[in-house]
Amino acid sequence: MLLTMLFRRTKPAAETELVFEAGGRSRPLIVRRMAQARRMRLSVDPRDGGVRLVMPSRASLRAALKWVESKRGWIEAALDALPDARPIADGMTIEVAGEPLRIELNDQGRIVRRVDGRLIVPQPADLLAARVTRWLRKQALERLEAETMRFAALAGVTIGRVTVGDPRARWGSCSANGDIRYSWRLILAPPEVLEATVAHEVAHRLHMDHSREFHIAVERLLGRDPLPERNWLREHGRHLYWLGRES
C-alpha cells in the first residue's frame, strides 16, 4: 500500500505526533528523510501496519505532515483492511506445510514436538510464542534447503548459503554469489506455494533478471505455470505476516 507525492537528501526514522487508528490498531506516523529520495512516499506496511513516510532531506516537514493528514482516510482504510492479528496461543490451530497442527502446552518434555496433528510445546506459557516461532523457523529452513538443493540439481547450478528471515517485502531473494534467503513464513503457505517460490529463486542462478528466459526457466524447473502460486501469495500472503502478532 503506497502513495507518492512529487517533491524537491539518510537520517534515522522519527516518530511524529500524527496517529492513525482503525481496525483496533493505533499507529504513529514514522518519518524517514533520505538523501536519494526525489518524492514523498507514504505507505502502510502489510506486515505490521506501520505508517511510514519517506521524504527528501530538504523537504518541508510541515508541508509533508499536512499532506499526510490529507490522506488520513486512505491510511485508516488501509489499516482497517489488514488481516486480524493471530497471537500464538495454547489451543490454536496453525497450518504448517499444508498440515493443520493444534498447539498444546504440556508439562512433560523439554522440546517442541509434532504428535498426531498436535504441536506439543513444553511449559512455561510465557515462552510458548517464542518456542513455536523458533520451531517454525527450523522447519522452514529444513524444507527450503531441501527444495533449493532439489531444484539446483535440476537446473545444474550451484547454491551458496540458504537462510531464512522475516523480510517486509520479499518472499525470497538470490544474490549474485548464489546465497538465497527466504521468508520463514513460507512454511505457513501451501506446499506448492513454497515450491514455486524456491523454483523462482533457483532460476535466478540461471538468469539474474526477470526476462522472458528467466520465466521460461522457472516454468521448466517447476514443471508447471507458477501463476496460481503467485496469485495465492498476492491474495493471501499478507495474512501470513500476522501470525504471532498482538495487534
What CATH number does the domain containing 121 carry?
A: 3.30.2010.10
Tell me, yes or no, whether 201 lies in a domain. yes
Q: Residues 228, 175: contact at Cβ < 8 Å?
A: no
Model pLDDT, residue 85: 94
Enter the C-alpha cell of residue 165: 528471515
Q: What is the pTM of this model?
A: 0.85
Number of domains observed in the structure of the chain:
2
Tell me, yes or no, whether 127 lies in a domain. yes
Model pLDDT, residue 247: 85
Mean pLDDT by 10 residues, the chain (247 residues): 47 82 95 93 93 95 96 97 96 98 92 96 96 98 98 98 92 97 98 98 97 98 98 95 92
| Cis geometry, peptide bond prior to residue 83 (ω within 30 degrees of 0) | no
Q: Residues 152, 202: contact at Cβ < 8 Å?
A: yes
Q: What is the DSSP letter of 37?
A: -
Model pLDDT, residue 126: 95
Both 60 and 129 in one domain: the answer is no
Both 53 and 32 in one domain: the answer is yes
Q: What is the DSSP letter of 188?
A: G
Out of 35, 51, 80, a domain closes at 80
Both 159 and 56 in one domain: the answer is no
| Cis geometry, peptide bond prior to residue 87 (ω within 30 degrees of 0) | no
> Which segments within 11-117 are labelled E, that is strand?
14-22, 25-34, 39-44, 51-56, 93-96, 99-106, 113-115
Out of 48, 80, 112, a domain closes at 80
Both 75 and 197 in one domain: the answer is no
CA distance 102 to 94: 6
Tell me, yes or no, whether 137 lies in a domain. yes
CA distance 101 to 229: 22
CA distance 77 to 60: 26
Per-residue pLDDT tens for 176-225?
999 999 999 999 999 999 999 999 999 999 999 999 999 999 999 999 99
Q: Residue 23's CB: how many other CB atoms inside 10 A?
A: 17
State the residue range of the domain holding 27.
Answer: 2-80
Q: Residues 53, 11: contact at Cβ < 8 Å?
A: no
Out of 47, 80, 113, a domain closes at 80
Model pLDDT, residue 8: 38
